[in-house]
């Protein structure tokens, strides 16, 4: 960046690396000093020789240089750079979960910050379409033949991202009846397969939610208490309505009550839950769903404040990914039209179909909004449980919050 | 980009390159066919092997990997990618001006579109700080020692950009008493020197403005007519005020009138203009200033609609570059503090000083707002001049609007 | 706005109103002077007493004040303020078209600027969701019962906006089987009916496009020339392919050629066009479609530069309105869930269905991307036609570009 | 908002108000039922009759309607609406601090969320300039005379906002030598005076920071431990450097060491702190500064995660307010020019001077970046202190997190 002074800050004195032995220290010191002498400069640090030499216009190779192809290339490269950053953050978060470090509450700030960073990047990526949209369909037409058969379907990083977050193979919309992995060559295809088999962010969050303190049947037993409170509440409502004089309004209210009862009956029906999971309409385990709802209801407890933020950020990611898809669809419509009525598979129609709740990984967190209840129906924490919740943070102090062991 | 169908559009049939001979055609056809067979794929097209392998963390090399350095690198690389795109657009626009193609009005759409694209990119770059701001001062502290002596001052592309738009050496704020070119090694320093000597966008726009039809002394003679109208108008105002009864209000109005008269006297004083130019407070020639004001006043004439948009976009670029600088300053303040009161040169203070009108290349276009007058003071176009303005577009029809000869 | 100096600029001397008689002038002068004495102040000018006293929380009226209801109210009021501004711009543009002033090319800058302003406002409105999204589903749940039966379906201005742009009654998705106008009381419902019967922006643009110079059968005859060129071009391609040795590639190319031929045959089939119009898949008349394609192909002609920008902005509006709808859907999903599987009509599902090409008024402008051809297939303008296009701007110079007669 | 289904959600069954007596309950029930019958509708709820009837163009009153004045009014009204929302959030946060509810950690989520909401609103307000910028200087000139003497300096809400956050009278840049309160009429001026005397957000945050657990001299005694560690660290560095052979590098390092020592000596010098406070260069008390640095260093402790986010958001507000000011300056430059060289006080120059660190209320939080140290210099929490920090949250469980008592 231009003239960024903190960039050049010389700070030889402070060694962040914890000193080990006197000898080690000297050695690293020496290394730093050498680096300072000749020194690394901005362009080398950023490897700009590679970054800035990677814009080769196919149209120019074909002796028909089209100006706007440069924008097309740079925009896609910028997307890929940011995808790499998202994957980097995502992997580091998954690592914290996988390694169990997430059990040390101190790591929640890191998890939360990095997930939030992904949110901010996606927000930028959605805005970034405004730049590519300065290219018109006519500009694009001038060079689009030269791109064949290169295709955005071949963006390895985006598919990795989907897999690692938790878009399952089974919910993908097929394109031209081909499996998505068939668009990739051998080693890439294997990499994709691997990520399908690794724990996804969804899976890791699910396991973490299942451990939400307060769910234990022999403890606070949140779920049973909630069920009791809700049906008590509904019954009291029913009694009140029944005492009302017979009017249209009374009928309406009774109908609404019946509907609410159905909704909550479905909530406490684990068989129904498993059925919805099997159809792909729910993605979290029943226990994890309970944990999420518990965090929703007790979000103000110190223990749950940051977890609540995390759930919100996960929904942000889902929302922004679908917004990204939708913005993409809008641009494609502008660039190639919908080809409505001409027959043949339409890329536009395909993309449109991916702007779907099937691709929302954390769809359950959204749908929990259906199951909210008045605050006074929420089971009260007794002082003991209060303490319990607070104390839960007191992890073994010998367990170290390993900074960036990832 | 993920699953972008227009990207993979096979469009073998349409050759945009004008056919030359039968043989040539067949040859190019063959080439395309081959490309289709083995074919270029997405990752190769974008040279992702280079783009995505350029993130080397200095902290990791020093065996103390700091997570957030990755974001730092990717953000700066994204900035540099977009700087390259801006330079590409800027060079193409300068080429249209230098080659004289701008005299064919058909090329104004291209000029306007590309300058507007630069505006949109800068808008994105300003927003992009929000991503880097997810890194805190503490995160940055952990790896900033490893960057030494790499410095944003060493961003060649940003300096080229400033030079090519028209930030002159003489108006630059010195940093630590060193000339800005001294931050660059030999070949880069020469490149910078070259761009200082080439025609800048400012210079090219200036020449174009000087040719604004209607300025000719033996033609419509806009400037003289305007001067007459303005001073006639001011005199009529004066007479009216003098007839008013003596009140405080009358005094106020007379004082305001005197002030206005001074302002407009200064406008028509070419010596004063040259003086301001010599001090760097004005940047355009006197004739170009007249052309710009003419475009302002007659912006609704078909001939001037697109030129007016162009002047607006040039101000947008200036504004966005200072906003970029200001956002940069804000981030630096957060990252390293102001070091107020500690002594020593402060990078923060330096950067702050560059958020200045000295760095606004098209400052004259802003300041013309000082010289606006009521619509009925603006010299009327007589029917002949109307026709003249319209006809001026009729360039030699044999002159070809060469598409993308750049 | 805080401390905005241009706001308070005293500028008594300049009367923009063209002077009529000496007496008139004095009178208006007096008026201004009085205004200056006592003077209008910021808060009165903006009627802040009304604006800032309009936030009445229903929850507070029901003695259960919920903090976040204030945000909910202010956000919706901000939306409605901006809707009013959009309607104001839209009406002024429609008036320029209806009055025929659009035939004076000088008014195109105004049309273009105002349509672009609508684009900028919609861009803000899409971003504005980020503020409301700081409210969680749980915050919303606390007061949503008090809103009954107030409903966003009752936003008169948004329905007026849809009608005036050109969303037809017949393409609206019904909600709960009720006609959209049934959500409004008598006078509002009549107002809506009126706007359904007035000329829409779509209709006005259509009429304007039908007059595109160059379409005349006894003139340049763009459409016939284009048809000839395209089928000549396709036939030449066919011949070339037929000469190729029999390979799989040859087959592919021939299949692609057949497809292209079908596409273009459909383009020149006016019966088919009328059929698609009757189904709502196309919205412009056949003649208007020709005009639009002509502007696309000759966008660099001075005459067509601003019209081309206008067509682009119209697509922007369509795109942004669907993005607005989609962002709205995303927020609703978060606030109330999808209620998937609970039965009953779902507001979420309804809203989702309105994010559809049925609601894209200028869908034809997008779909024209399907009918692009190589530049050398586009009929050449002969020098005469060139001149013709330029001269067309020379409207009657006695016809005055009436500034802001709206 | 258009067609917003959650808006109309009928939810008669759920009463959020905690039931008091059977009778009360019935009464409120009845009330709600009545509301449902006749019912409140969207337009009445939002008081759109007032909101949408408040756009009176002064130019129209003066019989010279200028189209763009409508945009000018609506934009300013939108700003004022959002200022009201910001004040509403700010007051609620101040109330939580003033009432002492902030001592219940459960309220930190609320504080944090609301401060973050202010951040999001300011982000929108910065973007909102893009809409007003569609008005050119020439459009503005056409009606700016009618605004006299209304002035943005008269925005009561913006001045209240500045006062309540903590811009002190003494640091304000005077405009035309007048006190800022002189721009307001009696009752408004008194209101401003009141807010100058009430506890500002700065003051309240300061008090809260002073109570940061761990600062106590008879407890963890953070400040003394930190001082010891830092000077130990510096001395060790010194010894290492002294052992190096005499080279230029050694000299550089020694010079840097001396500089660092000075910086840290100043940090632990309370007299110097008070001196900087008296000059307005520091704004927090010495104790509060210590608390802030403690939160920085231990931000990963569960106890400090949300407080750390809060400090970050406070800097965001400062940054966004200066960005808002700077965007405002840029627009004013475009609208009225700088009037450089014409003499007389310039509104543009005044505004520019307010884009200053003098107006950054939480400037100390930025400048703490100067005082960061390597992680291994930060005093270790011993297991007891760990527990202490965790336990500190265990407030009296009988103390109730009063929801929205504000």
The Cα of C26 is separated from the nearest Cα of chain D by a number of Å equal to 13
Cβ <8 Å between D5 and C63? no
Any D CB within 8 A of A396 CB: no
What's the mean pLDDT in D247-254? 90
- Select the more confidently predicted residue: D192 or C346: D192
Q: Tell whether A238 is covered by a domain.
A: no
DSSP-assigned beta bridge partners for residue D175: D178
Chain B and chain C share a number of CB contacts under 8 A equal to 113
A116 touches chain B (CB under 8 A): yes
If you average pLDDT over residues C222-232, what whole number do you get? 97
At residue A31, does pLDDT exceed 90?
no
- DSSP summary character for residue B178: B
∠ CA(A29), CA(A34), CA(A36), 5° rounding? Answer: 95
Mutation test of the interface with chain C: which of D29, D42, D309, choosing the one with the most C Cβ atoms within 10 A? D42
> Which of B330, B349, B353, B378 is the best substitution to test chain D (most D C-beta atoms within 10 A)?
B330
CB pairs under 8 A between A and D: 112
Mean pLDDT of chain D: 84
Does A263 fall in a domain? no
Give the per-residue pLDDT at A384: 61
Q: Which of B312, B340, B363 shows the shortest C-beta gap to D367?
A: B340
- For residue A96, what pLDDT is reported? 96
Among residues A334, A351, A350, A135, which one has the least CA distance to residue C319?
A334
Chain C CB contacts of D74 under 8 Å are 81-82, 84-85
In chain C, which residue's Cα lies nearest the Cα of B30? Answer: C244
Check CB contact under 8 Å for A106 and D10.
no
pLDDT band at D310 (very low <50, low <70, confident <90, very high): very high
Question: Of the candidates C299, C357, C369, which has its C-beta nearest A335's C-beta?
Answer: C369
8 Å CB contact of C375 and B25: no
Q: Which of B13, B112, B301 lies closest to C257 in CB terms?
A: B13
What total number of domains does chain B contain? 1
pLDDT at B387: 57
Three-class DSSP category at B381: coil
With a threshold of 0.85, tell me whether the complex ipTM lies above it.
Answer: yes
| Count of pairs with CB atoms under 8 A, one residue in B, one in D | 109
Chain B residues near residue A66 by CB distance under 8 angstroms: 16, 404
Torsion of CA C221, C224, C227, C232, to 10 degrees: -100
Grouping H, G, I as helix, E, B as strand and the rest as coil, residue D21 is coil
Residue among B10, B253, B299 whose CB faces C109 most closely: B299
Among C77, C152, C332, the residue with its CB nearest the CB of D51 is C77
From B138, B335, B336, residue closest to D296, measured CB to CB: B138
pLDDT at B160: 96
In chain A, which residues have their Cβ closer than 8 Å to the Cβ of B48?
77, 80
Residue D107 lies in a domain: yes
Do residues D16 and C65 touch, judged by C-beta distance below 8 A? Answer: no
Task: Provide mean pLDDT across the span D80-89.
Answer: 98
Give the residues across from C178 on adjacent strands: C175
Reference C148, options D31, D47, A235; nearest CA is: D31
Residue B341 has, within 13 A of its CA and on its CB side, a CA count of 20
Cα–Cα distance measured from residue D378 to residue D372, given in angstroms and rounded to the nearest whole number: 10
Burial of D382 (0-12, 13-18, 19+ CB in 10 A): exposed
Q: Which two tokens stand for residue D83?
A: 């200022």
Residue D150 to residue C85, Cβ atoms within 8 A: no
Question: From A346, which residue of chain C is nearest by alpha-carbon distance?
Answer: C370
Poorest-pLDDT segment among A36-40, A275-279, B71-75, C371-375: A36-40
User: Which of A134-138, A242-246, B20-24 shows the lowest per-residue confidence on average (mean pLDDT)?
Assistant: B20-24
Per CB-CB distance under 8 Å, the chain B contacts of D265 are: none
Q: A48: which 2 tokens?
A: 């700009």
Query: A167-176, B17-26, C96-105, C356-365 — which is least confidently predicted?
Result: B17-26
Residue D345 pLDDT class (50, 70, 90 cuts) = very low
- Inter-chain contact A370–C338, Cβ cutoff 8 Å? yes
Please determine, for residue D282, whether its predicted confidence score (pLDDT) is greater than 60.
yes
Q: Grade residue B105 by pLDDT with cuts at 50, 70 and 90.
A: confident
Whether D178 contacts chain C with CB within 8 A:
no
- Note whether residue C85 is domain-resident: yes
Residue D305: list chain A partners with CB under 8 A.
108-109, 112, 305-306
> What pLDDT score does D388 carry?
52
Tens of pLDDT, residues D97-129: 999 887 888 899 999 999 999 999 999 999 999
Pick the residue from chain A with its C-alpha nearest to B175. Answer: A3
Residue B378 and residue B367: Cα distance in Å, rounded? Answer: 18
The alpha-carbon gap from B387 to the nearest alpha carbon of chain C, in Å, equals 7
> Residue A349 domain-assigned?
yes
Question: C372 touching A, CB under 8 A?
Answer: yes
Q: Select from D266, D296, D337 the Cβ nearest to the Cβ of B368.
A: D337
Question: Mind listing the pLDDT tens digit for each residue in B177-202?
Answer: 678 888 888 899 999 999 999 999 99
pLDDT tens digit string along A268-322?
999 999 999 999 999 999 999 999 999 999 999 988 999 999 999 999 999 999 9
Residue A198's CATH number: 1.20.58.480
Interchain CB contact of B13 with C (< 8 Å): yes
Q: A148 and B117 in contact by Cβ < 8 A?
A: no
Sort out which chain B residues have CB atoms less than 8 A from A142's CB and list them.
16, 404
- Say how far apart CA D237 and CA D374 lie, in whole Å: 13
pLDDT in tens, D37-50: 456 889 999 999 99
Closest by alpha carbon to A27, among B63, B32, C267?
A: B63
Q: Which tens digit of pLDDT belongs to each residue from C207-219?
A: 999 999 999 999 8
State the alpha helices, DSSP H only, in C46-107: 48-51, 58-61, 69-98
pTM: 0.90
- Residues of the domain holding D380: 65-216+275-390
Q: What is the CA radius of gyration of chain A?
A: 27
**What gap in Å lies between CA D51 and CA D46, rounded to an integer?**
8
Strand runs labelled E in B195-336: none
Q: Is residue C281 part of a domain?
A: yes
Report the neighbours of D using a cutoff of 3 or more CB pairs below 8 angstroms: A, B, C
The terminus-to-terminus CA distance of chain D in angstroms comes to 27
Check CB contact under 8 Å for C74 and D82. yes
Q: What is the pLDDT of residue C55?
A: 98
Cβ of A337 within 8 Å of Cβ of C259? The answer is no
Q: Hey, are the CB atoms on D109 and A10 less than 8 Å from each other?
A: no
| Alpha carbon of D387: minimum distance to chain A alpha carbons (Å) | 7
Q: Does A270 touch chain D (CB under 8 A)?
A: no
Provide the token pair at A59: 């149209």
Residues 6+ apart with CB under 8 A from C64: C143, D16, D17
Q: In whole angstroms, what is the distance from residue A223 CA to residue A267 CA?
A: 11
**A4 at the C interface (CB within 8 A)?**
no
SS3 assignment, position A110: helix
> Would residue C44 count as lying in a domain?
no
How far apart CA C344 and CA C176 sit, in angstroms, is 10
B25 at C interface, C-beta within 8 A: yes
Domain presence at residue A112: yes
Say yes or no for a CB contact (<8 Å) between B12 and C401.
no
Give the confidence band of A353 by pLDDT, cuts at 50, 70, 90.
confident
């Amino acid at each position: 960046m231009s003239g960024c002074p903190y960039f050049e800050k010389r700070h030889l004195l402070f060694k962040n690396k914890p000193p080990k032995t006197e000898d080690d220290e000297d050695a690293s010191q020496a290394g730093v000093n050498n680096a300072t002498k000749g020194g690394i400069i901005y362009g080398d640090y950023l490897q700009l020789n590679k970054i800035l030499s990677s814009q080769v216009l196919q149209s120019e190779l074909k002796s028909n240089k089209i100006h706007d192809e440069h924008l097309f290339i740079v925009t896609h490269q910028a997307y890929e750079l940011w995808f790499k950053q998202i994957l980097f953050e995502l992997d580091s978060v998954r690592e914290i979960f996988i390694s169990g470090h997430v059990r040390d509450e101190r790591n929640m700030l890191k998890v939360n910050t990095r997930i939030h960073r992904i949110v901010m990047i996606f927000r930028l990526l959605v805005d970034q379409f405004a730049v590519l949209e300065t290219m018109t369909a006519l500009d694009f037409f001038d060079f689009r033949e030269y791109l064949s058969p290169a295709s955005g379907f071949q963006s390895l990083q985006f598919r990795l991202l989907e897999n690692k977050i938790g878009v399952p193979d089974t919910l993908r919309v097929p394109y031209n009846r081909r499996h998505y992995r068939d668009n990739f060559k051998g080693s890439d295809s294997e990499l994709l397969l691997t990520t399908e088999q690794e724990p996804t962010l969804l899976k890791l969050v699910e396991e973490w939610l299942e451990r939400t303190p307060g769910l234990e049947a022999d403890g606070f037993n949140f779920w049973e208490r909630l069920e009791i409170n809700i049906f008590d509440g509904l019954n009291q409502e029913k009694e009140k309505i029944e005492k009302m004089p017979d009017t249209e309004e009374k009928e309406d209210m009774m109908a609404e009550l019946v509907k609410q009862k159905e909704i909550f009956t479905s909530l406490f029906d684990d068989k129904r839950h498993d059925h919805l999971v099997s159809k792909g309409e729910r993605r979290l385990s029943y226990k994890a769903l309970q944990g999420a709802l518990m965090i929703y209801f007790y979000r103000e407890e110190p223990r749950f404040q940051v977890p609540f933020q995390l759930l919100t950020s996960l929904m942000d990611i889902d929302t922004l990914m679908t917004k990204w898809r939708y913005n993409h669809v809008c641009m494609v419509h502008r660039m190639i039209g919908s080809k409505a009525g001409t027959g043949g598979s339409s890329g536009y129609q395909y993309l449109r179909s991916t702007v779907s709740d099937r691709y929302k990984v954390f769809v359950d967190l959204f749908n929990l909004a259906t199951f909210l209840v008045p605050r006074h129906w929420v089971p009260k924490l007794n002082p003991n449980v209060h303490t319990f919740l607070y104390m839960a943070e007191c992890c073994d102090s010998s367990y170290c919050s390993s900074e960036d062991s990832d």
